[in-house]
Amino acid sequence: MDSPTRGPEPLPYPGGDAAVGGSPGVTCWGPARWIAIVTALAGAACLVWCALDRDPENRLVAAVLAACGVIVTVLLVRIRVRLRLVPGGIVVTGPVRSTEVPYAHIVTIATPTRGRFGRRAVVLELEVHAPGTDPADDQLILFGRFDLDADPAAVGRELRRRWAAETRP
């Protein structure tokens, strides 16, 4: 089990963290690379199964599983950097698009611990409100350990530190 004191770990990406030669002040987190590798290997194994099996029902199942493996791998590669802290705000990447959220639009940053099915987990919650819109239209963006490949509480502390520094007059 991972240590709960593990801090946020920046991920290298083109133009990313200053530690890997990119722009200074940029920190990012995303799903672990090994997950995309495992799904790609599972998809490839299902393709081999589809090619070798003579039973049409088994080939159909193998083809569907291979397609699912390819789709999940593409999505994981697309959201390689799920949350990125940039000067003036954050960038949240989803399966289809990336959204930049200025620090001024962030209402609250919380890292509650919740229990479910006998397990406890920390979640990073960002409440976002765009000025000029109805408060009922606020967005709640959630990040778990899978999304960040780091302790959400540590990422929340880093985000709160940057948020306070940017929004302080």
63-99 per-position pLDDT tens digit: 999 999 999 999 888 888 889 888 888 898 888 888 8
pLDDT-based confidence at 103, cuts 50/70/90? confident
Domain carrying residue 134: 88-167
Residue where a domain terminates, one of 78, 108, 141? 78
Task: Kindly state whether residue 10 falls inside one of the protein's structural domains.
Answer: no
Give the residue with greater pLDDT, 42 vs 119. 42
Strands, E, within 52-147: which ranges?
A: 83-86, 89-93, 98-102, 106-110, 113-116, 119-122, 124-128, 139-143
Residue where a domain terminates, one of 46, 78, 110? 78
Q: Are residues 95 and 159 in the same domain?
A: yes
Q: Are residues 98 and 160 in the same domain?
A: yes
Q: What's the structural domain count of the chain?
A: 2
Distance separating alpha carbons of residues 117 and 103, to the nearest angstrom: 34
Task: Kindly state whether residue 28 falls inside one of the protein's structural domains.
Answer: no
Please, what is the average pLDDT of the chain? 80
Q: Are residues 93 and 151 in the same domain?
A: yes
